[in-house]
Amino acid sequence: MTILAIVTLAVWVLAFVIPPGSYDRTDTGAPVEGTYHRVDTGRSFTDRLNDLFLSPVNGLYGVQDPKTGEVGPSLAGELYGSAGVFLFVLAIGAFITVVFATGALDRGIGRLAHRLRERGALLIAGIMVVFSVLGTVEGFAEETLGFYGLIVPLMLALGYDRMVATGAIILGAGVGVMCSTVNPFATGVASSAAGISLGDGIVLRFAMWLVLTAVTVAYVVRYASRVRKDPARSLVGFLPGDREQGAAEGGAVPELTRTHKLVLVLLTLVFAFMIFSVVPWSSALTGDADATPYAWELDWSFPQLAALFLLAAVLVGLVARMGEAKLSSTVIQGAADFISPALVIVLARGVTVIMNNSQITDTVLHAIEGAVRGAPSALFGVLVFVVNLPLAFLIPSTSGHATLAMPILAPLADFAGVSRAVVVTAWAAASGWMNLWVPTTAVTIGGVALAKVGYDKYLRFVAPLLGILFVLVCGFVALGAAVT
């Protein structure tokens, strides 16, 4: 929270320095190349101070006016704040706490840790590959916030630290999104805005996904093995009770009662249903971002998922015969335990509201347009990747970033003699690379808060990998540009 408070103040101050500007836009909201112009926002110092004062409120339930684009708590339009994610995190907290209160998850983790005590690296790799596949296919990212309550205790039981769980979740899903092969929310939107097929450039993206996923898995497994051999080498240390969970090497294997087994089955079904409910199956299977949803698709988002986990918490309590008083108090305690990461997500969203109301995003986009224009084809792909990095910080949403940048950057590829698919690939990599660490994305800042590892320590852990991935991406997009 302290880091986000500093970021909020820094962005608010920068909004006084960066001049506001805007592009003319089409009916779909896409900016028109060559139409950038400076604008007068008409915002007084009092208005700007009000943006800073209300940033946490706007981060929760700020509403965006469709005509002016301004975000405020009393406007009419579409919800801009992260109220859905906020409630989702609280509901997850309630559900996981109820499951733990039954004793089923503790015993289940204990049995699984005992069976995998010699194959922990295989488990880490399996978790990361599954998340990476979901990330590259359908942008599975924010949904991973629900898995910390399961994976953190499991990693501790296997003798690892909390950073291993954090890396497996954030980096596993993140590297998949970074190399979005057919992700309709990233590559699909970007390809449509660039006027090309979703399949264009898929060979390059698939090759990049294979290599980057393998490198990322190896990086996390290497750190995990080092910590397990020598706990003193942990970057985050261990909280009270963490080492006690690492007793998977010996001792009696905990028994599971019939009630415990039933609770674990419900737990598995709830998470499986969550994944099924959020996947855009028609887009994922056809490759068309605008495909008509199948009749059986649910197209759920965070409001529905929050309701699902609250209902599941009650169902687990009934199955375990907890009683009304204990179930109610456990649900409340679970939500209370998760209020910190939920508030972190809200503060991160509040930063983007300040940038939106100050109208500085188009100014940054215009600077990127000028940096890329006229570059040699061999350098073009690398430049597109590099100059999109600051824009990805301003716009953590992949679909919003694509809608804004592609109409400007894609035509420039034609002048450089480079395939527009290379622009899409470079853009997706830039967005994904930044979202592995920037404090304005709920996936990262919410994840480290849920895992209780500290954002500064996470940055120290991930910094070398970020450098490796940066070099690899530059190599892939440069190769793609050279081949085309």
Q: What is the DSSP string of 360-378?
A: -HHHHHHHHHHHHTT--HH
pLDDT(229) > 90: yes
Phi and psi at residue 388, in whole multiples of 5°?
-80, -10
CA pair distance 302, 471, nearest whole angstrom: 35
pLDDT band at residue 37 using 50, 70 and 90 as cut-offs: very high
pLDDT(248) > 60: no
pLDDT band at residue 408 using 50, 70 and 90 as cut-offs: confident
Residues 6+ apart with CB under 8 A from 251: none
pLDDT(249) > 70: no
CA pair distance 422, 49, nearest whole angstrom: 41
Give all strands of the β-sheet with 63-64 in edge-to-edge order.
Answer: 71-72, 63-64, 78-79
Q: What is the pLDDT of residues 305-363, one digit of tens each?
A: 899 999 999 999 999 999 999 999 999 999 998 888 888 888 888 888 998 899 988 88
Task: Say what the pLDDT of residue 293 is.
Answer: 87
Q: What is the pLDDT of residues 92-133, one digit of tens each?
A: 889 989 998 998 887 887 777 778 778 889 999 999 998 998
Q: What three-state secondary structure class fits 63?
A: strand
Residue in this structure with the two tokens 């990212």, named with its chain if needed: 141
Percent of the chain with pLDDT over 90: 46
CA pair distance 398, 374, nearest whole angstrom: 26
Which segment of 163-177, 381-395, 425-439, 446-460 scores lowest on mean pLDDT? Answer: 381-395
CA pair distance 425, 320, nearest whole angstrom: 49
CA pair distance 333, 245, nearest whole angstrom: 22
* Helices and strands counted in the chain (H then E): 20, 5
Residues 385-404 as b/e (b if ≥16 CB within 10 A, e otherwise) read bbbbbebbbbbbbbbbbbbb
Q: What three-state secondary structure class fits 72?
A: strand
Q: What is the pLDDT of residues 413-447, one digit of tens each?
A: 876 778 889 999 999 999 999 999 998 788 899 99
Q: What is the pLDDT of residues 256-287, one digit of tens each?
A: 899 999 999 998 898 888 878 877 788 767 76
Mean pLDDT in residue range 38-55: 93
DSSP at 142: G
**pTM surpassing 0.75?**
no
Task: Say what the pLDDT of residue 28 is.
Answer: 64
**Amino acid in position 209:** W
CA pair distance 382, 151, nearest whole angstrom: 36
Residues 6+ apart with CB under 8 A from 368: 387, 388, 390, 391, 405, 408, 409
Mean pLDDT in residue range 83-87: 89
Residues 6+ apart with CB under 8 A from 286: none
8 Å CB contact between 178 and 139: no
pLDDT band at residue 245 using 50, 70 and 90 as cut-offs: low
pLDDT band at residue 199 using 50, 70 and 90 as cut-offs: confident
CA pair distance 121, 113, nearest whole angstrom: 12
* Burial (Cβ within 10 Å: 0-12, 13-18, ≥19) of residue 123: buried
